[in-house]
Amino acid sequence: MARRKARGRPINGWLVLDKPSGITSTGALTAAKRLIDPAKAGHGGTLDPLATGVLPLAFGEATKTVPYIMDGTKSYRFSLRFGEARDTDDAEGVALKTSAHRPDDAGIEDALQDYRGVVAQVPPFYAAVKVAGERAYDLARRGEVFQLEAREVRIDRLVMIDRPDADRAVFEMDCGKGTYVRALARDLGEQLGCFAHVETLRRTRVGPFRIEDAVGLDVLERLVADDALLQVLAPVSTALADIPALAVTEPQALRLRSGQRIRVAPGLLVGSSEEGNTTVRAMLADRTVALGRLEGADLDPVRVFND
């Protein structure tokens, strides 16, 4: 039987999209796919429809590295509106509770101390986390009653950068995987005794991808029309920059790409890894051949790349 011809263009690499407000991350990916027509595509980190900013899009071999981007540090700039709690914890929701109280700057600064470091956070009800196999936002939209468990998240930096008026404050945050800005708004508003929700939200970084390198859908359309897409694509290996590198030879690269174990000489590992971390990047010159698990002198391929 003849093999089915692959559909789409064989494109490999990462595109940093500046997601517009009003569409989901999946919707933004779909719009980009219509323009580019890649054979394979995915995205590295969901943004709420209200949110804008960095949405890394993976094409071809880059889709194999999506989990490493999902685990990366993320940065946000967002504004909170005080005085109103909403069911979605952002401006798109329905008002649930209101308060005439407004916190002063000193009160906000003092409260922020409780949200730095490793903290317990309950996700918003309108979130993609699963409850008994269903997305929480689907249950919430149906009006079902359910509970979400608190989980530990990491907030490395959280600062107030502006106070336009008594009703609003603007913040910047660097955080780890699974941190919800909307949950932070909800909890901070409760603690300040005034309620709060997210009014605007912009993601400025995901791992190595920054807003300065992002392109909007309108710019992407022009790049595709001018056959200049490759000028803005980041290499597949960009997502793996924090993983220690191991130089391999042509014969070793061939074995790894065939799914076979290789023996490596000591002292070839470039970059230090955390204790117990044995995942390495096998590199042939400047190209990533595979991700592998190093045990002693043996390297077993976990993911192989053919770009």
* % of the chain exceeding 70 in pLDDT: 94
Q: pLDDT at residue 171 above 60?
A: yes
Mean pLDDT of the region 269-273: 53
Q: pLDDT at residue 277 above 80?
A: no
For residue 199, CA distances in Å to 8, 63, 289 come to 38, 32, 44
Q: pLDDT at residue 80 above 70?
A: yes
Give residues with Cβ within 8 angstroms of 74, minimum separation 6. 45, 174, 175, 176, 177, 179, 203, 205, 206, 207
Q: pLDDT at residue 174 above 90?
A: yes
Distance of alpha carbon 206 from alpha carbon 45, whole angstroms: 8
Residue 271 is predicted with a pLDDT of 55
Residue 5 is predicted with a pLDDT of 53
The one-letter code for the residue type at 53 is G
Measured in degrees and rounded to the nearest 5, phi and psi for residue 8 equal 90, 170
Distance of alpha carbon 87 from alpha carbon 65, whole angstroms: 34
For residue 205, CA distances in Å to 55, 212, 243 come to 9, 9, 19
Mean pLDDT of the region 9-31: 94
Tokens of 45: 């980190």
Cβ neighbour number for residue 81 with a 10 Å cutoff: 19
Within the chain, strands assigned E span: 13-19, 41-43, 52-59, 74-82, 84-86, 95-98, 117-121, 130-131, 134-135, 151-165, 168-175, 196-206, 209-210, 245-247, 262-263, 269-270, 279-284, 287-295, 298-304
Residue 139 is predicted with a pLDDT of 84
Q: pLDDT at residue 6 above 70?
A: no
**Confidence band, pLDDT 50/70/90 cuts, at residue 98:** very high
Q: Is 48 a catalytic residue?
A: yes
Distance of alpha carbon 299 from alpha carbon 256, whole angstroms: 9
Tokens of 3: 């093999």
- Considering the chain, what is the average pLDDT of its residues? 90
Residue 1 is predicted with a pLDDT of 44
Q: Is 69 helix (H, G, I), strand (E, B) or coil?
A: helix
Q: pLDDT at residue 157 above 90?
A: yes
Mean pLDDT of the region 22-42: 95
Q: pLDDT at residue 3 above 80?
A: no
Q: What DSSP character marks residue 261? A: -
Q: pLDDT at residue 269 above 80?
A: no
Structural domains in the chain?
13-72+208-237 (3.30.2350.10), 74-201 (3.30.2350.10), 243-304 (2.30.130.60)
Active-site entry in 18, 37, 48, 105: 48
Nearest C-alpha neighbor of 22 from the set 48, 46, 61: 48
Mean pLDDT of the region 237-259: 88
- Over residues 183-233, the pLDDT tens digits come to 999 999 999 999 999 999 999 999 999 999 999 999 999 999 999 999 999
Residue 274 is predicted with a pLDDT of 43
Q: pLDDT at residue 109 above 80?
A: yes
Q: Alpha-carbon Rg of the chain, whole angstroms?
A: 22
